[in-house]
Structure 1
Amino acid sequence: MNKNILYYLLAIILVASCKRSDDNVFDKSPDERINETLKAYQTAMTSSQYGWNGNLYTAQGTLFRFYFSFTDSNRVQMYSDFDSTTSSVLKESSFRLKALQQPSLIFDTYSYIHILSDPDASKNGGTYGVGLSSDFEFAIDSVTADSISLTGRVNGSKLTFKKATQADKTVWSSKQVYNGVQNFKSYWKFLSYWKRLNYRGTDYELQFDTTKKQVTVSWGSGASATSAIRKYYFWANGVYFVDPIVNGSNTIPGFSITSFTDGTLTSQVMNVTVNGTAATIKGVGPNIAPLNPDVKNAITRWRSQAQAGGNYWVSFDGFHQNGVNDAFNIKSLKNDSAEFYFLLYAPNTQGSDAFFTIYLDTLHTPLSLVAISGSWTKQSITKTTGLTRVTQDSVNSKLPWPATGPAQQTRTQMYSGTGNYYFVQSSDLTYDQVSVDDPSTWITWYWVF
């Protein structure tokens, strides 16, 4: 019995001894340790002599570039390549480091970084209620001597800091990023849908998707046709790619824009430099096949996407032509209390496709859609090239097209000349139908389902 008591007492002593040892693992309280960590992070952020270059990828994968300079008084100055204002006007606001579920960086007064997450879509071109799916509160993932990685606490956007050099800071402060934003606006003055960069004797077709800030670059032809997608940002008077395009011995990191000369469809030219070497971007004329190898498959995807759910594609602006959106002024159409809403194209699995004008009756309760004019359409597709011939099968006798005006001009264009088009997937939700006879003419189809 006495022996058992001794064993029991020995066990108590051992447990107590272990507990005292555990208590000595940390010589500071949890609050003291987290405050020291936050102080170390603040020191790291404020000690970069020339600030930081920041890459922010939204939850949707869109890249925006920033410049940050943090101070010990919890102020931060920034630029962004979001637009011409954010890239030219230095914005000062406040920030703080706080221990939430983990150490976090919070931009706590409205700044350029808030624009991306603003739920008012008119501020950023995103979606109402969510903006561009970005963040202004970030959990700190890692800190090294020259970089910091963070993750947005609401949308999971990714933000990385890299120490800026004096040259980097000068690119921002001397408005070279602003120049890139401004210079790139001239790119959209090209009348031709197809634009090609000629660098060291090779043509590279460019297709920019501004909604995701990415570019598709295509070169070669036939079996050697190649295409690559790159995220882009504005820098040093032009547009640059996150990863360069590599074609044999030629590497294209992007291009600096030096000038733009306006003119006709094929005489417009943008002078650029690539790796310091002079190059040009020009528009392509009629009856020239695109370089992007995806074009041969795009029309099939466009048709099958609508056919699979019995849905249709819509266009709110009608045809773009010779630099003019809604070239035929189709949005002006009215019929009593009904106003033009969109063009509808429904690819059919059997028989003919439907091509109709749809109006919105604003006096009807509830609001109703009304088909005003339409025709049945045929599409014949050359599968090896994606060339698509669109012909009118018959006019809907109950919904005849007007003899004149925007609707008739639209119908005429759809079936004009050879009726040949290429289809291009221009974003996740849009396809462009581009005329072969006149590449200044195209219509954008939206997926609204």
Structure 2
Amino acid sequence: MRLNKLFIATLLAFSTLALQSCLKDQEDFFDESSSERMQAVLENTKAVLTSSDNGWIFDYYPDRNLSYGGIIYALKFDDKKVSVRCELSPDMEKTSFYKLNTNNGPVLSFDSYNTLMHFFATPSSGEYQAKDGDFEFMIMNVTEDLITLRGNRTGNTMYLRRLNEDPDAFVHAIGKIYDTNVLPSANGSVGANAITCKNDINAHYMEFFWGGDNSQSSGEYYLSTSTGIRFKNPVTVNGATISELNYTFDDSNKSGAFTGEDSNGNSISLSGVLPETYAFFDEFKGSFTFSYANGAKNVNCTLVPDKVNGIITISGLNRNYDLIATYNRSLGCMELCGQVVAVTSDSQILFMGGTSSSFYAKSSVGFFFIKNPQNPTHYEIMPNNDPYSSKCNNSFVIIESADKYYIPPTSYRINGDYNISNVKAFIKN
């Protein structure tokens, strides 16, 4: 019995020592292996990123609610820097630093400011959370031609695809699709079945309708390609899926067409026409005449469009400030609303909708400037969607605001006037 107890005690002591030794070896093995694997992922990712002569197509999905759909970037990596181009402004290229590091996993980080790369991630006074965009991405999978990422902020899955063509030509082809894909709707067929679609050009979301009285529908977000659009996930329409569509636009009659094929081999053809009043963003560029007082008074100005931010700077109306208008892609027009144009030591100078006797200090009150189809160089004024805009009689007023409202100093008036009444048009010179 004593021998058995001694044997058992010896066995237990040996087992404990062996277990501790195994645990230590196992702990060392996994710690070292994890660190090595992480470093290997980062080194391999960098090697793949820098191996592409033309760079990478970045399928970027800002906002966890996909409010903007997908946006295409073209990225070219060297050992430390990345050159960035984007469909929003094909002529612009910005270079900044990037890093490959660890943060609960391997991460690709665009850690120095880049106008294009950080456009959706940079806060402003009106958007303190920016546009909910990412600039740090968890590296999920790496192959020679495809890198899968996940946005650290949004959790959205995104992709880097090896670019096999000239990046300048690619970005401009994408930019043309982005600029001209502005049809609000299109009609046609999938095989023998009639179909229609609604195209939300701001959210990059297309919804299809078919069946009796268009009783069935299905939709999905998309991004631009150099030949059309690609859906984030294949969209099911009448029992088959659609992954991509080609898109062409005819400038002569402002008509667009989506074509392609579904998973059952049915041909797809959808077409639509823009209204004659539609003006593209670049049309709001150059020298204009601002006509008011029913055309009796005129002042020259210059319009400079900023495609990345969707704004149009109006300079020349007053030497002390510029006005900032926005471009409405859905309507194809310029929108000018109330704004603070200058700040003095004890007051603000406001440009707002209204007259000297009745004005509205709201940034949403303003007017659309819409192309006149009978006279395409003229952009005529009409109230925007704010209910107070229709009460402004197509007029603006410049007011000094302190403890109350005052007529502004002459130096802040336009053409000597603070009451910009009965605006007639913007006329392209």
1:181 is matched with which residue? 175
Tell me by how many angstroms 1:117 deviates. 0.9
Post-superposition Cα deviations, 1:24-78, rounded to whole Å, max 9, x if no partner, equal 226658367414422334314523654544333332223233344544x244344
2:369 is matched with which residue? none
Post-superposition Cα deviations, 1:187-244, rounded to whole Å, max 9, x if no partner, equal 55x7xxx63244578452333141x32223334551x433322212111143343335
Q: Please identify, of 95-104 and 155-164, the stretch whose mean Cα deviation from structure 2 is larger.
A: 155-164
2:304 is matched with which residue? none
CA contact (8 A) 1:133 1:157 kept: no
Structure 1 Cα separation of the partners of residues 360 and 186 of structure 2? 39
**What are the within-5 Å matches in structure 2 for residues 236-275 of structure 1?**
236-242=226-232, 243-244=234-235, 246-247=237-238, 253-262=244-253, 268-270=254-256, 274=260
Structure 1 Cα separation of the partners of residues 360 and 175 of structure 2? 37
CA contact (8 A) 1:199 1:280 kept: no
Report percent identity of matched pairs.
14
Structure 2 Cα separation of the partners of residues 80 and 60 of structure 1? 21
* Alignment coverage as a number of residue pairs: 304
1:226 is matched with which residue? 216
Query: Aligned pair in 2 of structure 1 residues 366, 15: CA closer, same or farther (>3 Å)?
Result: farther
Query: Aligned pair in 2 of structure 1 residues 338, 44: CA closer, same or farther (>3 Å)?
Result: closer
CA RMSD in angstroms comes to 4.9
TM-score (norm 2): 0.54
Task: Choose from 351, 360, 366 the match for 1:339.
Answer: 360
CA contact (8 A) 1:258 1:272 kept: no
The structure with the largest strand share of the pair is 2
Query: Aligned pair in 2 of structure 1 residues 335, 92: CA closer, same or farther (>3 Å)?
Result: closer
Are positions 1:65 and 2:51 aligned together?
Answer: no
CA contact (8 A) 1:52 1:69 kept: yes
| 1:182 partner amino acid | K
CA contact (8 A) 2:235 2:241 kept: no
Query: Aligned pair in 2 of structure 1 residues 215, 116: CA closer, same or farther (>3 Å)?
Result: same
Query: Aligned pair in 2 of structure 1 residues 158, 326: CA closer, same or farther (>3 Å)?
Result: closer
Q: Which runs of 5+ in 2 are unaligned?
A: 262-266, 277-325, 339-351, 366-385, 393-398, 406-420, 424-429
CA contact (8 A) 1:245 1:253 kept: no
Structure 1 Cα separation of the partners of residues 275 and 14 of structure 2? 88
2:300 is matched with which residue? none
The structure with the largest helix share of the pair is 1
Structure 1 Cα separation of the partners of residues 7 and 81 of structure 2? 65
Q: Which runs of 5+ in 1 are unaligned?
A: 122-126, 263-267, 286-316, 344-354, 368-403, 407-449
Are positions 1:84 and 2:89 aligned together?
Answer: yes
TM-score (norm 1): 0.52
**What are the within-5 Å matches in structure 2 for residues 15-414 of structure 1?**
15-25=16-26, 30=31, 33-47=34-48, 49-50=51-52, 51-58=55-62, 59-61=64-66, 62-71=69-78, 73-81=79-87, 83-85=88-90, 89=92, 91-111=94-114, 112-120=116-124, 128-143=127-142, 147-153=146-152, 155-161=153-159, 163-164=161-162, 168-170=163-165, 173-188=167-182, 195-198=185-188, 202=194, 204-210=196-202, 212-222=203-213, 224-242=214-232, 243-244=234-235, 246-247=237-238, 253-262=244-253, 268-270=254-256, 274=260, 280-283=271-274, 332-334=353-355, 336=357, 338-339=359-360, 341=362, 357=388
Query: Aligned pair in 2 of structure 1 residues 143, 214: CA closer, same or farther (>3 Å)?
Result: same
CA contact (8 A) 1:79 1:91 kept: yes
CA contact (8 A) 1:143 1:149 kept: yes
Tell me by how many angstroms 1:79 deviates. 3.7
Tell me by how many angstroms 1:22 deviates. 2.0
